[in-house]
Amino acid sequence: MAPFDYIVVSTKAIPAITEETIKLIKPAIASRDTVLVLIQNGLGVEEPYHAAFPETTIISGVAYIPTTQISPGIFAHSEMERLHLGLYGANGSQKASLQLNSFVSLVRSGGGTAILESDIQVERWRKIVANGAVNPICALSRCRDGQLMKVAPLAVDLFRKVMSEIAAIAQAAGYGEVVNSATVETQLVRSLSRPYPGVQPSMMADALEGKRLEVEAILGHLVKIGHEKAVEIPRLETLLVLLQGLDANLKMEATKASE
């Protein structure tokens, strides 16, 4: 076949899946003209792909598409539909920029809301403020954000404090201008303003279905940066430990079920 213009990866950002995905797509990256598009949650998701394909241009994508399966084959999509796209790393060549603009045009021509970003990591940090708090807490409690805030009086304060720890890491990492206390309040207002029972975050959905969790992409990389920057993050550390335990248990149960 002729070389592909784009290869889009939108799998879960789980190390074992990433490793397998890299093996699967390797034969398809037969040309330096092929662009790899990663539409995944979390921080640092581009790193293993860049390590495997150092000469390949990577477009990094941050998606906002809150969707919940409400019954077999039926999905509820609410609130927004948005895809932020930008180049990963220092690859700012004219050719790479043209390829990025072309992909943005493709998404828009299909009816999608694609937003071009000069620094896509800004959007990754903005999204992790919510994802790093809501996903783990809802997965561990098995409650949607609105449900938990109604049944647990301290839930709103917990969400705020976890988000504030993430904002502190962002500040130390050089993204304090775009991720700060105002960002935290904006994300809290989003959760509080949703109709009851709120949204079912993807990590909660995976936990309920017995699937592996995006622990490292959502929390592990974040905590690693926090430690490197000497930021006090006791709540994030606690959530990471509990989430690693839950993920290990889910893996064990899945292994037993397959035997």
pLDDT at 219: 97
pLDDT at 142: 96
- Is 236 in the same domain as 204? yes
Give pLDDT < 70 ranges for the chain.
Answer: 1, 90-92
| Peptide bond between residue 197 and the one before it cis (omega within 30 degrees of 0) | yes
- Is 94 in the same domain as 55? yes
Instruction: List the one residue out of 38, 37, 41 whose CA is nearest residue 66.
Output: 41
Where residue 127 sits, what CATH number does that domain have?
Answer: 1.10.1040.10
Residue 232 lies in a domain: yes
Alpha carbons 127 and 149: distance in angstroms, whole number: 20
- Is 66 in the same domain as 194? no
CA geometry: angle 75, 78, 84, nearest 5 deg: 105
pTM for the full model? 0.92
CA geometry: angle 120, 122, 123, nearest 5 deg: 70
Residue 53 lies in a domain: yes
pLDDT at 90: 63
Residue 1 lies in a domain: no
- Is 102 in the same domain as 113? yes
- Is 136 in the same domain as 252? yes
- Is 21 in the same domain as 111? yes
- Is 126 in the same domain as 247? yes
Q: Looking at 118, 152, 176, which one is the last position of a domain?
A: 118
Residue 152 lies in a domain: yes
Written as six digits, the tokens of 253 are: 């149960």
pLDDT at 92: 63
Calculate helix-pair angle for 234-258, 120-141, nearest 10 degrees.
70
Map residue 117 onto helix, strand or coil: coil
- Is 126 in the same domain as 56? no
Question: What residues make up the domain containing 233?
Answer: 121-258
- Is 130 in the same domain as 242? yes
Count structural domains, the chain: 2
pLDDT at 30: 84
pLDDT at 91: 56
- Is 163 in the same domain as 250? yes
- Is 129 in the same domain as 144? yes
Alpha carbons 212 and 207: distance in angstroms, whole number: 7
Alpha carbons 14 and 183: distance in angstroms, whole number: 27
pLDDT at 80: 82
Q: What is the largest CA-CA distance in the chain?
A: 59
- Is 135 in the same domain as 224? yes
Alpha carbons 216 and 113: distance in angstroms, whole number: 28
pLDDT at 124: 97
Q: Looking at 118, 137, 153, which one is the last position of a domain?
A: 118
Q: Looking at 78, 98, 118, which one is the last position of a domain?
A: 118
pLDDT at 35: 96
